[in-house]
Amino acid sequence: MVNATPRIVIIGAGFSALWAALSAARKLHLAGKPDGTVEVVLIAPEPILHMRPRLYESDLSEASVAITPLLDTVGVRYVQGTVQHIDVEKNRLEYHTEAGETLFLDFDRLVLASGSKLCRPQSVSGLQEQGWDADQMDSALKLGVHLQSLATLPDSPARNTVVVCGGGFTGVEVAAEMPLRLRNILGASADIKVIVLERAETVCPEMPAPPRPVITEGLMDLGVEVLLGETVVSLDPEGVTTASGKRIASKTVIWSAGMRASDLTTHIPAERDALGRLHVSQNLNVSAPGLQHIYATGDTAHIAVDDAGHLALQSCQHAVYMGKAAGNNVMADILGLPLAPYRQPHYTMSIALGAWGGVFAVGWDQRVESVKEEAQKVKTYVNTQVIYPPPPDRTKLFAAADPNVQSPVC
């Protein structure tokens, strides 16, 4: 035991981190232990849950939740800091405070829930300097400011054209919002264009086939042009160039081509997958000798969700319930109680397609259940109800943190 009072440290403030903290506190309560018997600490740069699945939206004023009231309600301590290093031999974190101090935090159990980030390959010339994105709250807000600034520029094809690099789930949602956003900014007479560049031969190549034709139909009806089989090689202040030699003039090139797990996963000497996610057991502790006291959850974890071997995706849908399972198990582990294997066999997909509506599909084979306005209602429900934590009421928070209770649509 590292500390006189055993300590669980959770890194992150996203969906999986928050729900891990709430679920750990719930498990302590269910075990009949008083608050403080085990210290639960959540460390993150800021105590705010940003609703990342909503960052494609134009209005982000309600896409963040302060989590300190929730943590205080269940007895979890928040520490402001950015983790720089994880020492798994000494069971210690090194972190930097907002004031620039370097401090250390010991742990008996660790839950890595530091999420994922957009992958910006160095091989794409000019991407770091010229590419916009909607990956994190700060970058999504900067993109919104940039789009508003287009109205101050002279009318030109480059000003009026938005190019989205990457036609996967996130890229499609961003692109589908752009026609209306540009129209509201540039006016009804502007000759606006929204173009998606995707290197695969279909939109949303990560999905099974059934929803793709409907998604393509929605984009076409919105006036979004999709160019398939195009690999981006360079960006500059006036546009984008592809490997085929295609040149598109644009003042707004948005990068949306792939995610990778947090770099903190590299501090854990264990197997990782192609996305940088740590291989974990069904109990969510790291699958490596001597590291069973390290847990990974959400976008940092490689884990099967069912007996068929389907893997959890880097999505809020899996992060929420994986976080609940991780919190339950890390507290059970430290109390010497039985652990409960993580399972999440039901999968649904809800994608927003701007003014056209959306697509809602169910199952790993992605059977389309509803489209347009009906699907948009489901997406709105998920974004504004399912993934939002309840208010700071202890009973409601503990009920919501039960890992055995899952939403039928998320």
Domain ranges of the chain: 7-118+260-346, 127-257
| Arithmetic mean of pLDDT over the chain | 96
What tens digit of pLDDT does each residue of 49-88 get?
Answer: 999 999 999 999 999 999 999 999 999 999 999 999 999 9
Question: Does pLDDT of 1 surpass 90?
Answer: no
Determine the topology of domain 7-118+260-346 in CATH: FAD/NAD(P)-binding domain (3.50.50)
Query: 177-206 burial by CB neighbour count: b if 16+ within 10 A, else e?
Result: bbbebbeebbeeeeebbbbbbbbeebbbee
Is there a shared CATH topology between the 7-118+260-346 domain and the 127-257 domain? yes
Q: Which pLDDT does position 190 carry in this prediction?
A: 96
Q: Which pLDDT does position 409 carry in this prediction?
A: 67
Question: Does pLDDT of 354 surpass 90?
Answer: yes
Percentage above 90 pLDDT, the chain: 95
CA distances from 39 to 3, 88, 110, 347 (A): 10, 19, 12, 34
Structure tokens at 4: 């006189």
Residue written as token pair 């090139």: 253
Helix (H) or strand (E) holding 295: strand 294-296
User: What whole-number distance in Å separates Cα of residue 196 and Cα of residue 176?
Assistant: 10
Q: How confident is the model at residue 410 (pLDDT cuts 50, 70, 90)?
A: low
Q: Which pLDDT does position 386 carry in this prediction?
A: 87
Question: Does pLDDT of 365 surpass 70?
Answer: yes
Residue 308's contacts (CB-CB under 8 Å, 6 or more residues apart) are: 364
Question: Does pLDDT of 352 surpass 80?
Answer: yes
Bigger pLDDT: 35 vs 141: 141
Is the CATH number 3.50.50.60 carried by domain 127-257?
Answer: yes
**Amino acid occupying residue 354:** G
CA angle at 227 for the pair 225 and 230, rounded to the nearest 5°: 155
What tens digit of pLDDT does each residue of 253-304 get?
Answer: 999 998 999 999 999 999 999 999 999 999 999 999 999 999 999 999 999 9
Contact between 389 and 49 (Cβ < 8 Å): yes
Q: How confident is the model at residue 387 (pLDDT cuts 50, 70, 90)?
A: confident
- Closest C-alpha among 377, 379, 405 to residue 390: 405
Q: Which pLDDT does position 2 carry in this prediction?
A: 65
Question: Does pLDDT of 140 surpass 80?
Answer: yes
Helix H, strand E, coil C: the string for the chain is CCCCCCEEEEECCCHHHHHHHHHHHHHHHHCCCCCCCCEEEEEECCCEEECHHHCCCCCCCCCEEECHHHHHHHCCEEEECEEEEEECCCCEEEEECCCCCEEEEECCEEEECCCEEECCCCCCECHHHHEECCCCHHHHHHHHHHHHHHHHCCCCHHHHEEEEECCCHHHHHHHHHHHHHHHHHHCCCCCCEEEEEECCCCCCCCCCCCCHHHHHHHHHHHCEEEEECCCEEEEECCEEEECCCCEEECCEEEECCCEEECHHHHHCCCCECCCCCEEECCCCEECCCCCCCEEECHHHEECECCCCCCECCCCHHHHHHHHHHHHHHHHHHHHCCCCCCCCCCCCEEEEEEHHHEEEEEECCCCEEEEEHHHHHHHHHHHHHHHCCCCCCCHHHHHHHCCCCCCCCCC
pTM given for the model: 0.96
Q: How confident is the model at residue 156 (pLDDT cuts 50, 70, 90)?
A: very high
Q: Which pLDDT does position 4 carry in this prediction?
A: 87
